[in-house]
């Protein structure tokens, strides 16, 4: 990994992919990006860009060209969300992952770090302090996103070695922090619209283990380094968090407070929330609405259960060391909001 190595990042226009690309640049590496659209921000950083629609007929050729001369590919791009057509999730997350591996093999890229999700191990029940052996990947899911990601991770780790590529999968949990374009903006928007309610929450429960964006990025760098130094790790999957647990609604209230909003007061029993979500899904399906319903049964299950994970395998085998606590992260978000309200530009330019 002596600079300048060359890395390809898929999905670098997104939250994690963009932060990873910037970190790789800071470490002295050359970075290429493959995304659905070009980014003026990436261009200003000198990142070479190619536009690729994963799952499309011409994606593999574009990926193969972009991967030429690269030492590693970080496959971060994915279709996320709790609603949509199966074929769209399959196209981007499963077929797209197959195209990425094929491009790596044909371009001679020796290593691939794949961004998965802990949702691949979620069965609808509490997951508390479990490791990769105690919470193995499952292929049957209640939503298209975790199903497509589970199939993609399973297929990749089964086929990468045969393609001559050393690959690992990382499962970062609930990535958040400055620049978040998904988790916190959704929570804040729903709170401001009066559409946020606690679901089945008891004091201190359920509990989660979030991952600050800086730790998520460092886990990817650590995985690359580990593959270089210990190629026998190829074929493994790792849970990634920032190493602490917090009650779900304490975390959500903290995020809202960092944006100057009050805590969530309304609550719904789990059976009521489940029935409401099921009814909304029926209406959305009958009307063929593409936008996400206010609530789905998968989201209810996620909010009503604990899911926090052991990261001992990532510590031991990848050398991963989380550094950002929830308290530090929330203080940072509060400070950035106040700077923006005062008309000051945040130090990182976001």
The per-residue pLDDT for range 322-333, each reduced to its tens digit, is 999 999 999 999
C-alpha span between 83 and 290 (Å, rounded): 8
CA gyration radius for the chain? 20
- Give residue-wise pLDDT tens across range 228-285: 999 999 999 999 999 999 999 999 999 999 999 999 999 999 999 999 999 999 999 9
Mean pLDDT (whole number) for 163-176: 98
Q: So what's the pLDDT on residue 346?
A: 54
pLDDT classification of 203: cutoffs 50, 70, 90: confident
C-alpha span between 33 and 17 (Å, rounded): 9
**pLDDT > 80? residue 72:** yes
Mean pLDDT (whole number) for 195-221: 93
**Is 145 a residue of the active site?**
yes
Q: So what's the pLDDT on residue 345?
A: 55
Pick among 3.40.50.300, 3.30.450.20, 3.40.50.2000, 3.40.50.720: CATH of 6-182+208-246+307-330: 3.40.50.720
**pLDDT > 60? residue 180:** yes
**pLDDT > 80? residue 164:** yes
Quick one: which H or E segment has residue 211? strand 211-212
Q: So what's the pLDDT on residue 23?
A: 97
289-294: long-range contacts at Cβ-Cβ below 8 A with a sequence spacing of 24 or more?
A: 290/84, 291/83, 292/81, 292/82, 292/83, 292/84, 293/83, 294/195
**Domain range list for the chain:** 6-182+208-246+307-330
**Exposed, middle or buried, 135 (CB in 10 Å: 0-12/13-18/19+)?**
buried
**pLDDT > 90? residue 3:** no
Give the residues across from 308 on adjacent strands: 128
């Amino acid at each position: 990994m002596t600079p300048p190595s060359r890395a390809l990042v898929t999905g670098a226009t997104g939250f994690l992919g963009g932060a990873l690309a910037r970190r790789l640049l800071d470490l002295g590496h050359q970075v290429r990006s493959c995304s659905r659209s070009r980014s003026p921000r990436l261009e200003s950083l000198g990142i070479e860009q190619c536009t690729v629609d994963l799952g499309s007929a011409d994606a593999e050729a574009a990926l193969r060209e972009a991967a030429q001369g690269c030492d590693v590919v970080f496959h971060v791009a994915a279709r996320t969300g709790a609603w949509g057509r199966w074929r769209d999730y399959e196209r981007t997350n499963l077929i797209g992952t197959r195209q990425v591996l094929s491009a790596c093999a044909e371009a001679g890229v020796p290593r691939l770090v794949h961004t998965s999700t802990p949702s691949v191990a979620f069965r609808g029940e509490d997951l508390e302090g479990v490791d990769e052996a105690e919470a193995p990947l499952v292929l049957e899911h209640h939503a298209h996103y975790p199903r497509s990601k589970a199939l993609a991770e399973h297929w990749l780790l089964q086929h990468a070695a045969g393609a001559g590529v050393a690959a690992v999968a990382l499962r970062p949990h609930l990535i958040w922090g400055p620049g978040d374009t998904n988790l916190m903006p959704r929570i804040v928007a729903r709170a401001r619209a009066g559409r946020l309610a606690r679901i089945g929450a008891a004091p201190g429960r359920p509990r989660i283990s979030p991952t600050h964006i800086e730790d998520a990025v460092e886990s990817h760098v650590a995985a690359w380094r580990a593959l270089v130094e210990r190629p026998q790790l190829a074929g493994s999957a790792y849970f990634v968090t920032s190493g602490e647990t917090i009650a779900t609604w304490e975390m959500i209230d903290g995020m809202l407070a960092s944006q100057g909003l009050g805590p969530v007061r309304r609550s719904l029993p789990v059976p009521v929330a489940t029935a409401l979500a099921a009814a909304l899904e029926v209406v959305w399906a009958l009307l063929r609405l593409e936008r996400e319903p206010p609530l789905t049964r998968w989201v209810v299950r996620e909010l009503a259960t604990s899911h926090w994970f052991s990261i001992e395998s990532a510590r031991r085998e990848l050398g991963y060391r989380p550094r950002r606590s929830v308290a530090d992260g929330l203080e940072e978000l509060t400070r950035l909001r106040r700077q923006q309200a005062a008309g000051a530009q945040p130090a990182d330019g976001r």
